[in-house]
Structure formats: C-alpha cells, structure tokens
Structure 1
Amino acid sequence: MSHPTLDTLQDALKSVLGDRLSSIVADRGEVTITVPAARLLEAAELLRDAPALRFEQLIDLCGMDYSQYKDGASPLAEGPRYAVVVHLLSVSLNQRVRLRVFCPEDELPMVASLNGIWSSANWFEREAFDLYGIVFEGHEDLRRILTDYGFIGHPFRKDFPTHGHVEMRYDPEQQRVIYQPVSIELREITPRIVREDKYGGLH
C-alpha cells in the first residue's frame, strides 16, 4: 500500500529535479534519489530552495564502497565503486530524503563539495575523504579528521587490511613516537569451545 506523504514527496522530487534524477526509489518508508555527479550542485540547490522540497538541513553524509557487491547478485554489482550518500531534512515540511551520487572514477573518486550549500557538510566530507579517499572538489580544508597525519591508506575501503600497514609506538631510546611496519601475527581465532571437543567436561 502506498504512503500518501511519500507519493507527494516523490512527485515533488520528480517535478523539481526532472532529468537531473538518475533514479528514485521508495522503500521501507524512505525515499532515495540518485543524481549524476556532473549535476550534483544544481540538484542540491533545488533540493534546498524549491518551495515543495525545502531541505534546509544536511544531517549526515558518508562514503560508500560497493566493491563487494560485485561478488553477489546486487543491482549495484555493475558500475562505479564509490558513492557519497547524503541525508537531508526539511524541518518546515517535515520530510526527509536520501541523496546518492556515484563517483565517476574509481582510481580517483571525486564529487563536488556540498559545503557551500549546507555548511554542516564540512566535517562529514573530511571524514569521507579520510576513511574512503573520496575527494570533494571545492572543499577549502580537505584533510584527515579521524586518523593520524602519517596514516597510510583509507581504512573503510573494503580492501584495506584489518591490521593496517604500520603501527605506532614510543621509542625510549629516541624519546619520541615512531612508526614501524605492523608486527601483528595474523591468525584466525577460533573460540575454545569450538576447538576442544571435551572443553568444560562436555562430551
């Protein structure tokens, strides 16, 4: 059964965004729209300013790595690897929408910065850059925000090793913090109750 509020929102999104929409999906009471990277800024301005939409607040922005979708039967199995997902809220009209944009290039994932439209995007974009390596073109202060300045790679990418590349420790001889290759021995930990047939007197 369709939800009248969602139907109204979808109609408004289609009317305002027109051919700027790549797709629009309503599922589980939420609307997700996808726009092409080349038209992200104009679509974002319409989402914020159009009287029927009025999404004044950007409440979340994150990166996505869809590389493992290629191993399954997901409809996202084909196409770009990285995307940026934005959650927008209209306080005045009491409605929400999820906006997704795919980065055209996998080698250098890049989309336009939304910071000039919603200032709350600032640190969210820095986080997506830090964790996924997504570059936000036009961001005035795009640098790491969660990892250390000497960190190598982007830890939320699906191919990033769980143990990382380097480890940090204090060297008492040099009297400073140093970086060195990871010394963790990689092993698969199996719970004892699975390893030992007679653990705890069980037979």
Structure 2
Amino acid sequence: MSQHLDTLAQQLGAILGERIVDLKHALGELTLTVRASDYFDVATTLRDHPELKLEQLIDLCGVDYSTYGDGTYEGARYAVVSHLLSVSKNWRLRLKVFAADDDFPVVASVTPVWNSANWFEREAFDMYGVIFDGHNDLRRILTDYGFIGHPMRKDFPVSGHVEMRYDAEQKRVIYQPVTIEPREITPRIIREDKYGGL
C-alpha cells in the first residue's frame, strides 16, 4: 500500500471505528464497506471531516451479486458502490453498502450529501430496483415509464418482457408481449478449396 493510501486507511479507522464493516486495498484503491444503517452518516462524515474531505462523488452504481463467484457467493444480493474524490487531500475512496433486504433493496439517498448522486441514484433504481430512501425525485431515467422490471438484474430475461412498436391502424405506439423466439446461432463456416481465388 502506498504511504498516501496508508494514511487514508489510518484516518478512516480512527474516525469511523466500529462503523467499518470492511476496508480493503486492491488495485491501488481503498474500498470501504459499511452497513446500510450507517451509510448516510458515514457519507456525511467522509465529506465533512477535516482529515478526510471527500468533497466529490464521481460515480455511483448498483451491483447485483447473485451470480458472483460462479454462484458461490453467500451474502446480500444488491450493493451500491460510490467513488469519492478529495481534491484538497488528493485521494480517492470506493464506498460500498449492501441493501439489507434482497426482496426490497433499500439504502439511504446520499443526494443531500453530494447532489451529483441524483441521476446516478435514479439510474441504479431504474436498472437494479434499489430504492434510495430520501431521494426527492426517484423515477426511471433510462427506460420507459411503462417498463416492467429492472434490466440489469441477473435474473432479467435477455429478450425482456414486452416490446414496443408503432401501430399504423391505431396511429400510436403500443406495447405487446415479446415476439422474439429464442434460437441458437451457429456460425457459417466456408470450406471451399478455391475460396477467394486461392
């Protein structure tokens, strides 16, 4: 671990203490995992504490761990992962939180802490179905308002549930069940002796 990341890890341990579930160093980055119940308070501390000063949220995304490790993973299914930056301290931190309930994944919204989280949280809600408690405008951002399900979940069918098309008779866009038939695609192999003039 570099001295810079070692300093950050020591500061995190001293400031957050028991709120740290896990703190790992891998690929030149620190990953801090916290409980969903501590998530908002930890985010506020990471931003406001003078020894940490993680002022910027660069990215936030949802993750579905249901098939992680070829299905051998045993733990909470949904996580929210944020990438934070301190301009003044010149360090980065990955913050990870797992939703406590796999059937109804809920974590606190960090939009009041970093307003850049707004559209990222909407995307994680749309794609993974993670509910961000306290978000003031949690609605779909990438899929249509009538879309059913969350397409980045590992159990979502590749073909989807419904398809949309323009109906000339009704003169409007309509939804209908998917008409794509699953098929196996076998590549065509050309085995001609004189293919291409050779």
Q: Same fold (TM over 0.5)?
A: yes
1:69 aligned residue: 68
Aligned-pair distance for 1:142? Answer: 0.2
Q: 1:101 aligns with which of 83, 97, 100?
A: 97
Gaps of 5+ in 1: none
The letter for the 1-side match of 2:8 is L
Query: Aligned partners of 2:141 and 2:165: how far apart in 1?
Result: 21
Secondary structure of 1:41 counterpart: helix
Aligned-pair distance for 1:126? Answer: 0.2
RMSD: 1.4
Gaps of 5+ in 2: none
**Correspondence 1:164 to 2:163:** no
Aligned-pair distance for 1:121? Answer: 0.5
Secondary structure of 2:31 counterpart: strand
CA 178–201 in structure 1, closer or farther in 2 if over 3 Å, else same: farther
1:83 aligned residue: 79
The letter for the 2-side match of 1:186 is P
Secondary structure of 2:9 counterpart: helix
Query: Aligned partners of 1:43 and 1:110: how far apart in 2?
Result: 16
Query: Aligned partners of 1:108 and 1:200: how far apart in 2?
Result: 60
**Correspondence 1:176 to 2:175:** no
Q: 1:119 aligns with which of 108, 115, 120?
A: 115
Aligned-pair distance for 1:190? Answer: 2.4
Aligned-pair distance for 1:6? Answer: 1.1
Secondary structure of 2:186 counterpart: coil
Query: Aligned partners of 2:104 and 2:127: how far apart in 1?
Result: 14
2:151 aligned residue: 155
TM-score by length of 2: 0.95
Aligned-pair distance for 1:16? Answer: 1.1
Q: Deviations over 1:130-164 (max 9, x none)?
A: 00000000101000000001101000000111111
- The list of structure 1 runs, each at least 4 consecutive aligned residues, that deviate by more than 6 angstroms after superposition, is none
Secondary structure of 1:126 counterpart: helix
Taking only the aligned residue pairs, the percentage that are identical comes to 62
1:48 aligned residue: 47
Residues 130 and 145, structure 1, Cα contact 8 Å, conserved in 2: yes
Secondary structure of 1:89 counterpart: strand
Q: Deviations over 1:41-76 (max 9, x none)?
A: 111111001111100000100000000026355xxx
Query: Aligned partners of 2:185 and 2:134: how far apart in 1?
Result: 45
Secondary structure of 2:158 counterpart: coil
2:139 aligned residue: 143
The letter for the 2-side match of 1:54 is K
The letter for the 1-side match of 2:22 is S
Aligned-pair distance for 1:28? Answer: 1.3
Secondary structure of 2:67 counterpart: helix
TM-score by length of 1: 0.92
Query: Aligned partners of 2:46 and 2:193: how far apart in 1?
Result: 61
